[in-house]
Chain A
Amino acid sequence: SQKIEQNSEALNIQEGKTATLTCNYTNYSPAYLQWYRQDPGRGPVFLLLIRENEKEKRKERLKVTFDTTLKQSLFHITASQPADSATYLCATEDGYGNKLVFGAGTILRVKS
């Protein structure tokens, strides 16, 4: 089955800078990758989906890329703000059907 790896170390950045988080998948190339945001004590919230034939997708200050050669997705937050501090989870399809497999998430801390 598919496995998702995310950097377990927290990412600390200064307000206004661009945050870049990495997601690697280990097996077959999935049809899509998703990114979720999770705040402490709350459930994950869907942010973006990128399909394998899309190299890049944007939504406001968010940008996601999908590199099938590197088996990797990068998640960028430009002009980061302290309110962007959260855990960000990467997910993709797990085999057939409508199941997802999630990475353990990367904590982002944006300092003012």
Chain B
Amino acid sequence: NAGVTQTPKFQVLKTGQSMTLQCAQDMNHNSMYWYRQDPGMGLRLIYYSASEGTTDKGEVPNGYNVSRLNKREFSLRLESAAPSQTSVYFCASTVREGGGYEQYFGPGTRLTVT
């Protein structure tokens, strides 16, 4: 089991460029998430997908779009990158365990927008 995988690991974009961050999980989880992590602010939810075919906005969705391609894959797109989107992006999937939702995270994508 690879768990949750993300590509790329690092990316530098110029303001206004677009890119798609890819995420895949092989644990047969229904729900998947995209977070960004900034110093001192913790993980903030961008978008999530409770199940294949559905997506919903999280706390900070502006400037992003997502696609739940199938049960395994959940991509995050930046249509026109801005310096404020410089961050580390984590994808996660979840399973209900012990009365709560345990999340499994990918290794992250470090994005710099200049």
Contacts and interface: CB of A to CB of B under 8 A. Distances in A.
A49 B98 CA distance: 7
A8 B40 contact: yes
Contact of A89 (B42, B45, B101): B42
B42 A102 contact: yes
Contacts, number: 64
Interface stretch (B12-20, B61-69, B73-81, B104-112): B104-112
B24 interface: no
Given A43-B107, A97-B50, A89 B43 contact: yes
A31 B107 CA distance: 28
Interface in B2-42: 4, 31, 33, 35, 40-42
A49 B42 contact: no
Interface residues of B, number: 28
A8 B42 CA distance: 10
Give chain B's interface secondary structure class. Answer: strand
Interface residues on A, range: 20 to 34
Given A42-B108, A43-B107, A44-B105, A102 B43 contact: yes
Contact of B97 (A36, A49, A100): A49
A34 B50 contact: no
Given A43-B92, A44-B43, A100 B107 contact: no
Interface string B89-105: 01010101111111111
Nearest to B97: A49
B51 to A, nearest CB: 10
Given A98-B94, A99-B48, A49 B99 contact: yes
Interface in A76-112: 89, 91, 93-94, 97-105
Contacts of A93: 100-101
A43 B93 CA distance: 12
Interface of B: 4, 31, 33, 35, 40-43, 45, 48, 50, 58, 90, 92, 94, 96-108
